[in-house]
Chain A
């Protein structure tokens, strides 16, 4: 890297005081202090530090159910979203159809679309009085609207798949773009079928990018809140909703803090894994 030969210059001199200032005066109040207070509160009892809140938390069969439910929703949604995202990216890249460029641009903009609005839009489409439900009713001449799955695990998974698949499309497209297409052509000209080319050439080469995108998808899905609140809060208690209602409805901050620390541990370990994979992937790309 040529970076190491760069001399320090004037205003940009990376004086250590500047880094210390950023750490203490900027990141301190923004990130470090709040998270430390959160962990501290979850550990504090009437007499000093205790693990009592956690003991209660994990002892309660209800919270174990909540964690299992959160993980089930995560596994289902993120797996489906990743499969859909990779398939869609492969299609956009290898079999571009008219308007594929437009759809790609749209998926990029989708990233700025708030997730709770996706959940909300799905009510108009797949709710029991929604357009798809009524359409099916009219088409099949049914007595009642046929769809009634939205406010529960089905709707949550559908909304999360719709919202998070585009997050997989972008990194996957980027790693397809770095493929050496001559290898694909060579395999094809040697008589390999499409399926074989995809499995034996494209997938292994693009794998680091796909893995990073999939991990990102799992992380974002785990951290999702709006969709769970709109479609899941009635029948499906997941950890983020439980933390939120413990803090703002029951005003029980210590219990909320214990739940939040459990959640923090899960998402930060996933995040650390993502950063590792992504850094290796990007270093490999250079």
Chain B
């Protein structure tokens, strides 16, 4: 940095002093804009869920928990569906992601490996509605009819989540860890033992990250789920959207807050443990 910027402000020449003050106020403005744009919306969802009434006033009329008390059976059913599907998608996505990463390690640039890598990552580039429509067309009537089971929702969310799980697992297979595996192998450990004692423990942080990411993405998924979901398997986002479209904003906030807390809990569970930077999307 230049020497002037380390001087106390009183010793600066006047023009520099003004420049510094202008710079600082610009920074302050930008920080406020950042907080206004990004922090405020999240705070608003939380605040509106405990608002007694909030329309046509600057702040809520009063605080109350009665929107939570008024959540009914269908809301809790949606919450249960979301959590079950989320757990299923996170487990299946992580298992498949780890398997893909191990099977393709070092081969993702050439031949068959490159083809598999491209196809596994493809849902990242496909709009969720389009993927939902494709799955609906493929599985809504015989030979494979999943149109009345939760399986079709799990299937479409699994496809959407797989790229993230696969990337997370693949980023854990770093060359310096491969040496340990080779050492175990050369010391005569049987393959199953290498997998259970060396490979999976090495990948544990990535597996944890992949579970949390899969869970959070599944909970918030809207486009594909809305296109394929069979009656009786509405997830929380679908119920929330329905309420918003009918103008029931405050009940929708209460339900969204529960959804956010569930995914926040999952993300904090990894943030507390994981120290390495998170993998790129």
Contact = CB atoms under 8 A, between A and B. Distances in A.
Interface residues of B, number: 99
Interface of B: 1-2, 23, 27-28, 30-31, 34-35, 37-42, 44-45, 48, 54-59, 96, 99-100, 102-107, 112-113, 115-116, 119-131, 133-139, 155, 158-159, 162, 175, 178, 181-182, 185, 190-192, 194-195, 199, 213, 216-217, 219-223, 226-227, 237, 240-241, 244-245, 249, 252-253, 256, 259-260, 263-264, 267, 278, 280-281
Contacts of A120: 45, 240, 244, 249, 252-253, 256
Contacts of A54: none
Contact of B2 (A118, A131, A171, A188): A188
25 contacts: A6-B182, A9-B185, A10-B185, A10-B190, A19-B103, A19-B112, A22-B116, A27-B116, A27-B120, A29-B155, A30-B159, A34-B135, A35-B126, A87-B30, A91-B27, A109-B264, A114-B222, A118-B41, A121-B42, A121-B44, A125-B40, A131-B59, A162-B41, A229-B226, A253-B136
B281 A123 contact: no
Determine chain B's interface SS by DSSP, over half rule. helix
A45 interface: no
Contacts of A263: 127, 129-130
Contacts of A103: 31, 34-35, 38-39
Interface in A248-286: 248, 253, 256-257, 260, 263-264, 267-268, 270-272, 274-275, 278, 282
Nearest to A91: B30
A14 B113 CA distance: 10
Contacts of B123: 31
Given A11-B192, A34-B134, A244 B223 contact: yes
A2 B137 contact: no
Contacts of A41: 137
Interface in A86-102: 87-88, 91, 95, 97, 99-100
B114 to A, nearest CB: 11
Nearest to A131: B58
B194 A134 contact: no
A73 interface: no
B171 to A, nearest CB: 11
Contacts of B30: 87-88, 91
Contact of A116 (B28, B40, B222): B222
Contacts of A16: 112
B216 to A, nearest CB: 4
Nearest to A162: B37
B256 A37 contact: no
Contacts of B38: 103, 106-107, 110, 162, 165-166
A232 B130 CA distance: 18
A-B pairs, top 10 by smallest CB distance, nearest first, are A271-B125, A11-B191, A114-B220, A10-B191, A225-B223, A121-B41, A34-B134, A38-B134, A223-B127, A34-B138
Contacts, number: 264
A208 interface: no
B129 A260 contact: yes
Contacts of B278: 108
Contacts of B227: 244, 247-248
B194 A247 contact: no
Contact of A37 (B56, B126, B138, B194): B138
Given A34-B139, A124-B44, A125-B44, A267 B103 contact: no
Contacts of B252: 120
Nearest to B118: A275
Contacts of A7: 182
Contacts of A87: 30
A118 B55 CA distance: 18
A2 B260 contact: no
A28 B45 CA distance: 40
A3 B199 CA distance: 17
Interface in A219-259: 219, 222-223, 225-226, 229-230, 240, 243-244, 247-248, 253, 256-257
A185 interface: yes
Nearest to B55: A129
A117 interface: yes
A22 B100 contact: yes
Given A97-B28, A114-B222, A33 B126 contact: no
Contacts of A271: 122, 124-126
A135 B59 CA distance: 9
Given A120-B45, A253-B137, 6 more contacts: A19-B103, A91-B30, A113-B220, A240-B129, A243-B133, A267-B127
A225 to B, nearest CB: 4
A31 B124 CA distance: 11
B43 to A, nearest CB: 8
A116 B226 CA distance: 12
Nearest to B39: A106
Nearest to B23: A95
Given A6-B178, A12-B194, A230-B244, A223 B128 contact: yes
B217 to A, nearest CB: 7
